[in-house]
Structure 1
Amino acid sequence: MASVKKELVLDASSEDIWAIIRDFAAGPVRMAPGYAVDSKLDGPDIRVVDFAGGAVARERLVTIDDDARRFVYSIVGGSVTPAHNNASMQVFPHGDGQSRFVWIHDVLPDELAAPLAAGMDAGLRAFEQTRKAPTPS
Protein backbone atom coordinates (compact mmCIF):
# COMPACT_ATOMS: atom_id res chain seq x y z
CA MET A 1 0.00 0.00 0.00
CA ALA A 2 1.30 3.44 -0.91
CA SER A 3 1.24 6.27 1.59
CA VAL A 4 1.50 9.96 0.70
CA LYS A 5 2.16 12.51 3.44
CA LYS A 6 2.12 16.29 3.00
CA GLU A 7 2.68 19.01 5.58
CA LEU A 8 2.16 22.75 5.46
CA VAL A 9 2.73 25.53 8.00
CA LEU A 10 0.03 28.18 7.75
CA ASP A 11 -0.16 31.73 9.08
CA ALA A 12 -3.40 31.10 10.93
CA SER A 13 -4.31 29.68 14.30
CA SER A 14 -4.98 25.97 14.60
CA GLU A 15 -8.54 26.85 15.69
CA ASP A 16 -9.14 28.77 12.45
CA ILE A 17 -7.68 26.01 10.28
CA TRP A 18 -9.59 23.31 12.16
CA ALA A 19 -12.87 25.19 11.56
CA ILE A 20 -12.25 24.83 7.81
CA ILE A 21 -11.07 21.20 7.86
CA ARG A 22 -13.85 19.87 10.10
CA ASP A 23 -16.57 21.35 7.84
CA PHE A 24 -17.55 18.12 6.10
CA ALA A 25 -19.99 19.73 3.69
CA ALA A 26 -18.01 22.77 2.50
CA GLY A 27 -14.48 22.13 3.76
CA PRO A 28 -12.88 21.32 0.38
CA VAL A 29 -14.10 24.56 -1.23
CA ARG A 30 -13.20 26.59 1.87
CA MET A 31 -9.75 24.99 1.94
CA ALA A 32 -8.91 25.23 -1.74
CA PRO A 33 -11.27 27.56 -3.60
CA GLY A 34 -10.71 27.42 -7.32
CA TYR A 35 -9.17 23.96 -7.06
CA ALA A 36 -12.20 22.38 -5.36
CA VAL A 37 -15.10 24.03 -7.17
CA ASP A 38 -18.05 22.33 -5.44
CA SER A 39 -18.70 20.15 -2.43
CA LYS A 40 -22.11 18.85 -1.50
CA LEU A 41 -23.56 16.24 0.82
CA ASP A 42 -25.10 13.07 -0.59
CA GLY A 43 -26.41 11.68 2.69
CA PRO A 44 -25.17 12.17 6.24
CA ASP A 45 -21.70 10.68 5.74
CA ILE A 46 -20.98 11.07 2.00
CA ARG A 47 -19.86 14.19 0.17
CA VAL A 48 -19.23 14.71 -3.52
CA VAL A 49 -16.34 17.03 -4.38
CA ASP A 50 -15.91 18.47 -7.89
CA PHE A 51 -12.46 19.70 -8.89
CA ALA A 52 -11.48 22.33 -11.46
CA GLY A 53 -9.83 19.77 -13.74
CA GLY A 54 -13.05 17.75 -13.98
CA ALA A 55 -12.27 15.04 -11.41
CA VAL A 56 -15.02 14.06 -8.99
CA ALA A 57 -14.50 12.36 -5.63
CA ARG A 58 -17.15 10.62 -3.52
CA GLU A 59 -15.82 10.70 0.01
CA ARG A 60 -17.12 8.90 3.10
CA LEU A 61 -16.69 10.52 6.49
CA VAL A 62 -14.92 8.15 8.87
CA THR A 63 -14.46 10.38 11.91
CA ILE A 64 -14.11 13.95 13.13
CA ASP A 65 -12.10 14.15 16.35
CA ASP A 66 -12.39 17.68 17.73
CA ASP A 67 -10.03 17.00 20.64
CA ALA A 68 -7.20 15.84 18.36
CA ARG A 69 -8.27 18.18 15.51
CA ARG A 70 -8.20 15.17 13.22
CA PHE A 71 -10.52 14.47 10.29
CA VAL A 72 -10.57 11.05 8.56
CA TYR A 73 -12.29 10.18 5.30
CA SER A 74 -12.13 7.66 2.48
CA ILE A 75 -12.54 8.04 -1.28
CA VAL A 76 -15.26 5.55 -2.20
CA GLY A 77 -16.07 6.52 -5.77
CA GLY A 78 -16.21 9.20 -8.40
CA SER A 79 -13.82 9.50 -11.32
CA VAL A 80 -11.19 7.55 -9.34
CA THR A 81 -12.17 4.37 -7.52
CA PRO A 82 -9.29 3.02 -5.46
CA ALA A 83 -9.43 -0.51 -4.13
CA HIS A 84 -8.62 1.04 -0.74
CA ASN A 85 -8.25 4.62 0.44
CA ASN A 86 -7.93 6.13 3.88
CA ALA A 87 -7.04 9.78 4.34
CA SER A 88 -6.53 11.94 7.39
CA MET A 89 -6.07 15.65 7.94
CA GLN A 90 -4.82 16.93 11.26
CA VAL A 91 -4.07 20.42 12.56
CA PHE A 92 -1.49 21.26 15.24
CA PRO A 93 -0.54 24.56 16.89
CA HIS A 94 2.81 25.72 15.51
CA GLY A 95 4.45 28.78 17.00
CA ASP A 96 2.78 32.11 17.57
CA GLY A 97 -0.44 32.30 15.54
CA GLN A 98 0.56 29.55 13.14
CA SER A 99 -0.56 25.99 12.59
CA ARG A 100 0.89 22.87 11.04
CA PHE A 101 -1.43 20.97 8.74
CA VAL A 102 -0.69 17.27 8.07
CA TRP A 103 -2.50 15.37 5.30
CA ILE A 104 -1.97 11.64 4.73
CA HIS A 105 -3.46 9.34 2.07
CA ASP A 106 -3.01 5.56 2.18
CA VAL A 107 -4.09 4.05 -1.12
CA LEU A 108 -4.28 0.87 -3.19
CA PRO A 109 -3.30 0.31 -5.91
CA ASP A 110 0.09 1.93 -5.45
CA GLU A 111 -0.16 3.54 -8.91
CA LEU A 112 -2.73 6.01 -7.53
CA ALA A 113 -0.16 7.53 -5.14
CA ALA A 114 1.43 9.82 -7.75
CA PRO A 115 -1.85 11.36 -8.98
CA LEU A 116 -3.06 11.72 -5.38
CA ALA A 117 0.20 13.44 -4.42
CA ALA A 118 -0.15 15.86 -7.34
CA GLY A 119 -3.73 16.65 -6.32
CA MET A 120 -2.70 17.13 -2.71
CA ASP A 121 0.08 19.52 -3.81
CA ALA A 122 -2.38 21.57 -5.86
CA GLY A 123 -4.85 21.66 -2.99
CA LEU A 124 -2.15 22.74 -0.54
CA ARG A 125 -0.99 25.53 -2.87
CA ALA A 126 -4.57 26.84 -3.00
CA PHE A 127 -4.94 26.44 0.78
CA GLU A 128 -1.74 28.36 1.44
CA GLN A 129 -2.79 31.14 -0.96
CA THR A 130 -6.20 31.59 0.71
CA ARG A 131 -4.58 31.82 4.17
CA LYS A 132 -2.08 34.56 3.28
CA ALA A 133 -2.87 37.86 4.93
CA PRO A 134 -3.12 40.89 2.65
CA THR A 135 -0.01 43.05 2.65
CA PRO A 136 -0.59 46.42 4.39
CA SER A 137 -0.25 49.39 2.06
Structure 2
Amino acid sequence: MASVTREIIIEAAPAAVWAAISDFIEGPVRMAPGFVTDSRPDGPDTRVVTFADGTVLRERLVALDHDALRLAYAVVGGSLRPTHDNASMQVVPHGDGRSRFVWIHDVLPDALAPGIGAAMDHGLAVFAGTFGGRPTPGR
Protein backbone atom coordinates (compact mmCIF):
# COMPACT_ATOMS: atom_id res chain seq x y z
CA MET A 1 0.00 0.00 0.00
CA ALA A 2 1.30 3.44 -0.88
CA SER A 3 1.44 6.02 1.88
CA VAL A 4 1.76 9.71 1.04
CA THR A 5 2.72 12.01 3.93
CA ARG A 6 2.93 15.78 3.88
CA GLU A 7 3.73 18.17 6.73
CA ILE A 8 3.80 21.95 6.77
CA ILE A 9 4.14 24.68 9.36
CA ILE A 10 1.26 27.15 9.20
CA GLU A 11 1.39 30.69 10.59
CA ALA A 12 -1.89 30.27 12.46
CA ALA A 13 -2.91 29.03 15.90
CA PRO A 14 -3.96 25.39 16.21
CA ALA A 15 -7.50 26.36 17.23
CA ALA A 16 -7.99 28.37 14.02
CA VAL A 17 -6.62 25.57 11.83
CA TRP A 18 -8.67 22.93 13.65
CA ALA A 19 -11.85 24.99 13.28
CA ALA A 20 -11.57 24.64 9.51
CA ILE A 21 -10.40 21.02 9.41
CA SER A 22 -12.94 19.71 11.91
CA ASP A 23 -15.85 21.12 9.90
CA PHE A 24 -16.28 17.93 7.88
CA ILE A 25 -18.77 19.33 5.38
CA GLU A 26 -17.59 22.91 4.80
CA GLY A 27 -13.96 22.38 5.83
CA PRO A 28 -12.53 21.57 2.39
CA VAL A 29 -13.85 24.84 0.91
CA ARG A 30 -12.76 26.82 4.00
CA MET A 31 -9.27 25.31 3.87
CA ALA A 32 -8.58 25.60 0.16
CA PRO A 33 -11.00 27.98 -1.57
CA GLY A 34 -10.61 27.89 -5.32
CA PHE A 35 -8.82 24.52 -5.21
CA VAL A 36 -11.99 23.01 -3.73
CA THR A 37 -15.08 24.51 -5.34
CA ASP A 38 -17.83 22.69 -3.44
CA SER A 39 -18.41 20.34 -0.52
CA ARG A 40 -21.87 19.11 0.38
CA PRO A 41 -23.36 16.42 2.60
CA ASP A 42 -24.35 13.06 1.12
CA GLY A 43 -25.77 11.20 4.09
CA PRO A 44 -24.97 11.45 7.79
CA ASP A 45 -21.17 10.84 7.64
CA THR A 46 -20.42 11.38 3.96
CA ARG A 47 -19.56 14.40 1.84
CA VAL A 48 -19.15 15.03 -1.87
CA VAL A 49 -16.15 17.27 -2.62
CA THR A 50 -15.66 18.96 -6.01
CA PHE A 51 -12.25 20.27 -7.06
CA ALA A 52 -11.42 23.00 -9.58
CA ASP A 53 -10.03 20.44 -12.04
CA GLY A 54 -13.41 18.67 -12.16
CA THR A 55 -12.50 15.79 -9.84
CA VAL A 56 -15.41 14.78 -7.61
CA LEU A 57 -14.81 12.63 -4.53
CA ARG A 58 -17.27 11.01 -2.19
CA GLU A 59 -15.63 10.84 1.25
CA ARG A 60 -16.77 9.14 4.46
CA LEU A 61 -15.89 10.44 7.91
CA VAL A 62 -13.98 7.76 9.82
CA ALA A 63 -13.01 9.62 13.01
CA LEU A 64 -13.17 13.11 14.45
CA ASP A 65 -11.02 13.53 17.58
CA HIS A 66 -11.30 17.02 19.08
CA ASP A 67 -8.76 16.22 21.82
CA ALA A 68 -6.05 15.05 19.41
CA LEU A 69 -7.07 17.62 16.72
CA ARG A 70 -7.29 14.76 14.21
CA LEU A 71 -9.75 13.97 11.43
CA ALA A 72 -9.75 10.69 9.49
CA TYR A 73 -11.72 10.01 6.32
CA ALA A 74 -11.84 7.63 3.35
CA VAL A 75 -12.59 8.09 -0.35
CA VAL A 76 -15.54 5.80 -1.07
CA GLY A 77 -16.53 6.90 -4.57
CA GLY A 78 -16.53 9.58 -7.21
CA SER A 79 -13.97 10.18 -9.96
CA LEU A 80 -11.28 8.33 -8.00
CA ARG A 81 -12.03 4.69 -7.30
CA PRO A 82 -9.31 3.24 -5.06
CA THR A 83 -9.56 -0.33 -3.82
CA HIS A 84 -8.50 1.01 -0.41
CA ASP A 85 -8.25 4.56 0.89
CA ASN A 86 -7.71 6.12 4.29
CA ALA A 87 -6.49 9.61 5.09
CA SER A 88 -5.92 11.64 8.22
CA MET A 89 -5.27 15.29 8.98
CA GLN A 90 -3.85 16.39 12.31
CA VAL A 91 -2.94 19.75 13.83
CA VAL A 92 -0.07 19.93 16.32
CA PRO A 93 0.92 23.11 18.19
CA HIS A 94 4.28 24.34 16.90
CA GLY A 95 5.15 27.21 19.26
CA ASP A 96 4.70 30.96 18.88
CA GLY A 97 1.08 30.54 17.81
CA ARG A 98 1.95 28.38 14.80
CA SER A 99 0.69 24.94 13.82
CA ARG A 100 2.24 21.86 12.30
CA PHE A 101 -0.24 20.24 9.92
CA VAL A 102 0.26 16.54 9.15
CA TRP A 103 -1.68 14.91 6.31
CA ILE A 104 -1.31 11.19 5.62
CA HIS A 105 -3.03 9.37 2.77
CA ASP A 106 -2.84 5.57 2.40
CA VAL A 107 -4.10 4.21 -0.90
CA LEU A 108 -4.32 1.16 -3.14
CA PRO A 109 -3.44 0.68 -5.90
CA ASP A 110 -0.01 2.23 -5.44
CA ALA A 111 -0.26 3.84 -8.88
CA LEU A 112 -2.70 6.41 -7.44
CA ALA A 113 -0.10 7.78 -4.99
CA PRO A 114 1.74 10.21 -7.34
CA GLY A 115 -1.49 11.96 -8.37
CA ILE A 116 -2.74 12.09 -4.78
CA GLY A 117 0.62 13.50 -3.66
CA ALA A 118 0.51 16.22 -6.32
CA ALA A 119 -3.04 17.14 -5.31
CA MET A 120 -2.01 17.24 -1.64
CA ASP A 121 0.92 19.56 -2.49
CA HIS A 122 -1.35 21.92 -4.39
CA GLY A 123 -4.02 21.85 -1.69
CA LEU A 124 -1.47 22.52 1.06
CA ALA A 125 -0.12 25.57 -0.74
CA VAL A 126 -3.64 27.01 -0.97
CA PHE A 127 -4.39 25.98 2.63
CA ALA A 128 -1.31 27.80 3.95
CA GLY A 129 -2.28 30.92 2.01
CA THR A 130 -5.77 30.79 3.49
CA PHE A 131 -4.26 31.27 6.94
CA GLY A 132 -2.07 34.22 5.96
CA GLY A 133 1.25 32.44 5.92
CA ARG A 134 3.55 30.47 3.72
CA PRO A 135 4.18 26.81 4.46
CA THR A 136 7.52 25.64 5.73
CA PRO A 137 8.03 22.23 4.13
CA GLY A 138 7.99 19.31 6.52
CA ARG A 139 8.41 15.94 4.94
> Structure 2: how far apart are the matches of 1:76 and 1:112?
14
Q: How far 1:129 sits from its partner (Å)? A: 1.0
The answer for the alignment partner of 1:39 in structure 2 is 39
- Structure 1 counterpart of 2:62: 62
Equivalent pairs counted in the alignment come to 133
Q: Secondary structure at the match of 2:7?
A: strand
Instruction: For 1:18 and 1:130, locate their aligned partners in 2 and report how far apart those are by CA, in whole Å.
Output: 13
Q: How does 1:1-137 map to 2 (within 5 A)?
A: 1-132=1-132
Q: Quote the offset at 1:95 in angstroms.
A: 1.1
Q: Distance in 2 between matches of 1:132 and 1:51?
A: 22
Which runs of no fewer than 5 residues in structure 1 stay unpaired?
none
> Over residues 96-115 of structure 1, what are the superposed CA-to-partner deviations in whole Å (9 max), with x where a residue is unaligned?
11000000000000000000
Amino acid across the alignment from 1:121: D
- TM-score, normalised with respect to structure 1: 0.96
Measured after TM superposition, the shift of residue 46 of structure 1 is: 0.5
Distance, in Å, in 2 between the alignment partners of 1:121 and 1:88 is 15
Give 1:19 shift. 0.5
RMSD of Structure 2 on Structure 1 (CA): 0.7
Runs of 4 or more off by more than 4 Å in structure 1?
A: none
Amino acid at match of 1:115: G
Task: State the alpha-carbon separation in 1 of the partners of residues 9 and 121 from structure 2.
Answer: 14
